[in-house]
């Protein structure tokens, strides 16, 4: 069995679209709520390149770093 390094994340899954949308590998991986679409979430549309692994936009990268340092128990 080949283990793929790249995990494709899925976004916007809900009852009306159980499969959702695959991640755009150029964009920030943070899941955000679509403000015009109401209850459907989707991938952040900003370019990635910041935060842990360079997977986030600048804004979400900061948040992700905070989350990561908290979950590691860093003070």
Collect all residues with Cβ–Cβ distance below 8 Å to 62 and sequence separation of at least 6: 50, 51
The distance of closest approach from Cβ of residue 66 to Zn ion in the complex, given in angstroms and rounded to an integer, is: 14
Span of 13-21, 33-41, 51-59, 66-74 interacting with Zn ion by CB under 5 A: 51-59
| Nearest of 53, 52, 45, 54 to residue 66 by alpha carbon | 52
The distance of closest approach from Cβ of residue 7 to Zn ion in the complex, given in angstroms and rounded to an integer, is: 18
Which residues, numbered 6-45, are part of the site for Zn ion (CB under 5 A)? 28, 30, 44
Cβ contact 31:11 at 8 Å: yes
Interface positions with Zn ion (CB under 5 A):
28, 30, 44, 46, 57, 60
């Amino acid at each position: 069995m080949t283990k793929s390094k790249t995990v494709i994340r899925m976004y916007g899954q809900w009852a009306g679209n159980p499969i959702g949308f695959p991640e755009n590998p150029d964009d920030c991986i943070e899941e955000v709520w679509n403000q015009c679409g109401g209850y459907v979430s989707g991938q952040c549309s900003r370019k990635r390149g910041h935060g842990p692994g360079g997977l986030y936009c600048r804004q979400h990268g900061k948040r992700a770093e905070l989350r990561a340092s908290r979950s590691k128990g860093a003070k």
